[in-house]
Chain A
Amino acid sequence: MTEPLPAALVRQLRSTVGDDHVITDPNRLLVYESDGLSAYRVRPRAVVLPASTEEVAEVVRVLHAAEIEIVPRGAGTGLSGGALPTPDGVVVGTARMNRVLEIDARDRIARVQPGVVNARLTDATRPHGLYYAPDPSSQSTCTLGGNVAENSGGPHCLKYGVTTRYVTGLTVVLAGGEVVRLGGAGREVADGLDLVGLFVGSEGCFGIATEIEVRLLPLAEGVRTLLGIFDTMEAAGHAVTSIIASGLMPAAVEIVDKATIRAVEASVFAAGYPTDAGAALVIEFDGTEEGLDADADRAEACCLAAGAREVRRARSEEERLGLWKGRKKAFGAMGRIAPDLLVQDATVPRTRLPEVLAKITEIGVRYDLQIANVFHAGDGNLHPNLLFDRADPDQMARVEAASHEIMSLCVDVGGTITGEHGVGVDKRGYMTLVHNEVELDMLRRVRRVFDAEGLFNPGKVIPDEEIDAVAGVGAS
């Protein structure tokens, strides 16, 4: 049972951020009980919503002095339980820190508060002919602060790279409330230790980023989008390998499998993909208009040579959105098939995709579970979606065991347990698949450099020293 915060402490927090921005009412706390991984739910003692670096620093100082755990939270769209509250802790949310502080079109730099929504940043920079490249699927709601914490990716990261490539500077609040500026335009990455690179992806365990400086790119002049329809997933996988090996650099290469196609086509999101197809491949090129048709022609030839049944090409923005629809609406469509969905996330070397997908299918059959695959094929980033009903304990146990097997499989072929969703609480038990005890101990030591007492986001990322090696859905 969650213990309420002492009244004096609540008063202190309210005097810092304002009465309305310290939430202790159990009904209002409900929405903060979980993030995008709703299998885990914990009610925090309170939620505090500061509006500035100074307010974050003061809130952290007060909570630190009272030895209260702090769980940073962006939009709560994360899929690994990284923003899951702790029963003794307070959630510090960045929702009010949603201002774009600076857009310098000349130097192609933007400085934002952490609560700025990813897609809003590009909206703000588009009039300058610029955009922010990393585009997680949740970009219309997820925030830059959350992206920094998780080192988020997205479909177009194949060509452009993930969040860490674009973050040039951070202002962070560390344990105790100290405000530290890391990096920043005007300093080279190679100038001293890369503390910005280390902080990005630290999943709220090092501190709270309160200002984020990012590099912007010029908007691509043109885009070409193709949809390849294949009878088998294996053929689609070979097409991907052949496109990349041919030296083409698509902006995105995404695959949806048969189960996903059927789910989408049976839903309100029907995109016109043939329901008897084994896989659909969305390929996109962007850049200078003149070279795009030639790139698209070569990619089409690769698809046909790999056995594509047909290759469609978008002739308008409307058609482009249509080709993407089956990919983008996949998660929504799966809600029709089963009440619960576990979106897994792992990465394998791209050439191992056909073999790994065949084995995932086999795991699904063996555990009698529906698994639908939607993934960033270009960089080998898999999202096997396990469909289940949490009311059925037997099914829950099978989901957990199948997840563990899928993770082991990906690690065995030279991959890893998470490509872009982070470890959070969900993958903590899998960390021993990729790190030995010496490496885990090093992660703990580095965490202590930033937060000696471990008050920031405890119970995330690193397994406890004595933790059992089993985790997954339903583990706590």
Chain B
Amino acid sequence: MESLATILPASAMAEEPKDMPDADLPGSRRPDAVVRPGATEDVAALMEWATREGVGVLPIGSGRRAHPVRGDGRFVVLRTDGLAGLETYEAADLTLSAGAGTPFGTVAAALAENAQWAPFDPPRIDQRSLGGLVANGLSGPLHMGYGELRNHVLGLTVVTGDGRTLRLGGRVVKNVAGFDLLKAVVGSRGSLAIITSVVLRAFPVPPVDRTLYVEGATVGELLKHALEVGTAPVLPASSVIVDALAAAGGRPALVVRLHGAEATVAADQRRLEEHVGLTFRVDSGVDHAGVRDHASLGDVLLAASARPSRLGAVLDALDALTPTALSVDSYGGRVRAASAVPTGEVIDSVRSRIEDVGGALRLFAPSMDGRAAELSTRPRPGEQALVEGLRSAFDPGGVLWPARF
């Protein structure tokens, strides 16, 4: 790795691989080098070098979702936290840009100073880097009222596997100048390019953020109410079932958020209660972080999806895994579950049952290493060819080592 020091500034060389904390790369063999570039140009130089030398590159943002690296091959860990800091914030235009390594908390704090926010809430968002969030592409339940994360990302600066720098999208909400490569990169989990900078769309903080909940004996019973919420004449900001809500004494509950002016929210609540046929408890003490992060920690994390009306069958199928925690975003047709490590047969059977109702199942299982990838959603054959084509267009040398989950 000597030649690496000649292409990167000394400031971009991070700790010695042997000194890398195990928590940043749990259960993995050590990399051959660790770098912390401070500029897109340094990332470009690194990627060009990596392709030339045939060295793998593993990007680590907050390090929360790193996947164990085993097997052969030289590789470099690219820490993105050197690419941190707000770049521009045009509050009147509701746009903000920041380096990919910027902690989301820094972004949220800057927005909050102007009574603005970024309305997405994937699990443990407050521990993640902006680039990591975009690479992961998960939206959280607020997609019900605000759309998916991909719609909030206006622009990206990325470096391809072979060191080409691309500016995708821009700083304006409407932009159709060329193919929408940005959409392919959002959620690509590091498989197409290294994200170095992100332009986000900001929203005004709603005057009222009202939290409603209703308890139920089981998640299945609450699902009926949640589906009714999903067909109501008003669209809440989010609606999610957790199998244990602290505010409800650890019982299962359906938690709904309504955003807007006081008069609107009060009327929306009435409409919702009439439509669903029950009275919600209003509780400003509900811990949204707890709801958001529910079922996001465990040996095995499962993400199942299906059309909302088929979620009953999905929940029945997941029963076989005896989940230790469960959350259901019925509007998005998404179930999150945490469980102990299951056998391959059980997983296969659960997945078949979910696929039979047109759904899909993914596993995030650091302790299962390569098997988790095998067990994740299989792209359809036609999709697979396109995915492979895109990967070679973005990373012709195959040096990007994406997080495989």
Contacts and interface: CB of A to CB of B under 8 A. Distances in A.
Given A107-B308, A161-B151, A289 B267 contact: yes
A339 interface: no
A161 B149 CA distance: 13
B261 A291 contact: yes
A106 B164 contact: no
Contacts of B172: 347-349, 379-380, 414-416, 419
A195 B172 CA distance: 22
Contacts of B233: 129, 218-219, 221
B94 interface: yes
Nearest to A171: B382
Interface residues of B, number: 86
A180 interface: yes
B310 interface: yes
Contacts of A219: 233
Interface in A143-199: 150-151, 153, 157, 161-162, 164-165, 174, 178-182, 184-195, 197-198
Contact of A192 (B178, B377, B389): B377
Contacts of B183: 164, 194, 197-198, 200
Contact of B380 (A108, A181, A186, A348): A181
B177 A423 contact: yes
B235 interface: yes
B386 A195 contact: yes
A192 B138 CA distance: 11
A181 B204 CA distance: 37
Contacts of A336: none
Nearest to B314: A186
A129 B234 CA distance: 11
A288 B271 contact: yes
A468 interface: no
Contacts of A438: 164-166
B169 to A, nearest CB: 9
Given A197-B184, A442-B164, A419 B176 contact: yes
A194 B180 CA distance: 10
Contacts of B149: 190
Interface stretch (B35-43, B282-290, B316-324, B354-362): B354-362
B94 A423 contact: no
A435 B93 contact: no
A244 B263 CA distance: 20
A184 B137 CA distance: 17
Interface string B280-315: 000000000000000000000001011111100000
A427 B196 CA distance: 29
Contacts of B309: 104, 106-107
B292 to A, nearest CB: 15
Given A179-B382, A449-B393, A461-B179, A186 B306 contact: yes
Contacts of B370: none
Given A161-B147, A189-B139, A462 B178 contact: yes
A120 B172 CA distance: 30
B187 A189 contact: yes
Contacts of A190: 136-139, 148-149, 187
B305 A187 contact: yes
B307 A107 contact: yes
A218 B232 contact: yes
A462 B333 CA distance: 37
B264 A165 contact: no
Nearest to B390: A449
Interface in B176-207: 176-181, 183-184, 186-188, 191-192, 204-207
Contacts of A461: 178-179
A241 B92 contact: yes
B260 interface: yes
Contacts of A414: 170-172
A422 interface: yes
A165 to B, nearest CB: 5
B234 A182 contact: no
Please indicate which of the listed interface residues A104, A187, A190, A195 has the most CB atoms of chain B within 10 Å of its own CB: A190
B159 to A, nearest CB: 11
Q: Is the interface of A mostly helix, strand, loop or mixed?
A: loop
Contacts of A186: 305-307, 310, 333, 357-360
Given A104-B307, A178-B382, A449-B389, A435 B177 contact: yes
B170 A416 contact: yes
Contacts of A202: 179-180
Given A192-B387, A442-B166, A108 B271 contact: no
Contacts of A381: 174
Nearest to B91: A245
B165 A421 contact: no
Interface string A232-247: 0000000001001111
Contact of B184 (A193, A246, A247, A421): A193
A447 interface: yes
Contact of A105 (B171, B231, B261, B332): B231
A450 interface: yes
B364 to A, nearest CB: 12
Contacts of A184: 358
A265 to B, nearest CB: 29
A188 B178 contact: no
Contacts of A291: 260-261, 263-265, 267
B375 to A, nearest CB: 14
Rank and list the top 6 A-B pairs by shortest CB-CB distance, nearest first: A197-B183, A291-B264, A180-B382, A449-B389, A247-B204, A419-B174
26 contacts: A104-B309, A107-B307, A180-B380, A180-B386, A184-B358, A186-B360, A187-B359, A188-B303, A188-B334, A189-B148, A190-B138, A194-B186, A247-B204, A247-B206, A247-B207, A288-B267, A291-B265, A347-B175, A351-B93, A419-B176, A422-B176, A423-B176, A431-B178, A439-B167, A442-B160, A442-B394
Interface of B: 90-95, 115, 136-139, 147-151, 160, 164-167, 170-181, 183-184, 186-188, 191-192, 204-207, 227, 230-235, 260-261, 263-268, 271, 303, 305-310, 332-334, 357-360, 362, 377, 379-380, 382-383, 386-387, 389-390, 393-394
Given A106-B230, A197-B183, A347-B175, 14 more contacts: A161-B151, A164-B183, A165-B148, A174-B382, A178-B382, A191-B362, A197-B186, A221-B233, A287-B260, A348-B172, A376-B174, A415-B170, A416-B172, A443-B178
